[in-house]
Amino acid sequence: MSLGIDLRFGPSGWDHPRWDKLIYPRPQPRGFHPLEFLADRFSTVEICATSHSFLRPELARPWMTRVAHNPSFVFTARMPLRFSTERRMESEAIKDFKQGMRPLLERGMLGCLLMQFPWGFRFNAENRAFVISLRRAFHEFPLAAELLHDSWTAQEAIGTMIDYHIGFCNIDQPSSDHAMPPSAYLTTNIGYVKLSGRKHGPRAADYLYTMPELLEWRMRIARIRRFADRTFVVFANAAGGKAVINALQLQALMDLEKRPEAPAAMVEKPTAPLPFAASAA
């Protein structure tokens, strides 16, 4: 089975503490940039910095240049929490955010804009109306919603997402009462999967998925991919570079014809068995 351009794996973000020592080569070659390194191995990266700040157009353009050697590469990005969580929908702020994202959108380099909501954001009439208002405010963007509460699996909630062309972010998160369970929903032509780890507390991102856990997601992703035009699989367990390790592992499990290389740090001190022959970067 070959991955093709309809299925893309990658981590959430690239500028994380300690990745310079654990993931990226040391010493770094002249002109090294993390995006170029990741684009050698993956076809997507979720821009997580946009959760709290707006992207400047002059920053987006060099990012596109950094990944241009991988013709399959497409970014995804998080919608600022000021819109989705804080509900601060000032028209000028929305305009400024769109301006920063426009280079990616116009070049076809933005595969999805991800709206994130807290666990307390349950499905009810008020919250349904708010999600619809976000869809209308960002009508030009391909949207997906990361919803943590299982009330959003109700038939009416799924129907709303289908009717308003909002993708469903299938998540893996720590289990708790009414936590969204692992799923394989597809409500638009874009499939989205986010694996954030299963550990509670401040070190939630410090979680390494086991091979049986990845195999479970391999089955769900295969079901989503069957009907989606494109599917993004993003790992947000960033601590210790685990997002890169697990993304490489699951990518290899999905593509038996290609064996991506692992970063040198994984070869020198692997933290998990890799399902492919690793070689130094």
Place of tokens 């997580």: 48
- Does 50 map to a domain? yes
Quick check: is 277 in a domain? no
Provide the edge-to-edge strand list for the sheet that holds 7-11: 7-11, 230-235, 190-195, 166-172, 143-146, 110-116, 75-78, 46-47
Residue 276 counted as domain residue: no
Alpha-carbon distance of 76 to 11, in angstroms, equals 10
**Any domain includes 278:** no
Instruction: Look up the pTM and report it.
Output: 0.90
Q: Is residue 264 included in any domain, yes or no?
A: yes
In a domain, 145, yes or no: yes
Backbone angles phi, psi at 218, to 5 degrees: -60, -40
Give mean pLDDT, residues 226-235: 97
What residue ranges in the chain does DSSP mark as E strands?
Answer: 7-11, 46-47, 75-78, 110-116, 143-146, 166-172, 190-195, 230-235
Pairing of strands 166-172, 190-195: parallel
pLDDT for 266: 46
Reported as a single tens digit per residue, the pLDDT across 56-115 is 999 999 999 999 999 999 999 999 999 999 999 999 999 999 999 999 999 999 999 999
Query: With 80 as the cut, is the pLDDT of residue 2 above it?
Result: no
Domain span at residue 152 reads: 7-268
Domain membership flag for residue 275: no
Domain-embedded: residue 117: yes
CA 124 – CA 256 distance, rounded (Å): 43
Cα(276)–Cα(116) distance, integer angstroms: 33
Count of domains observed in the chain = 1
CATH code where residue 64 lies: 3.20.20.410
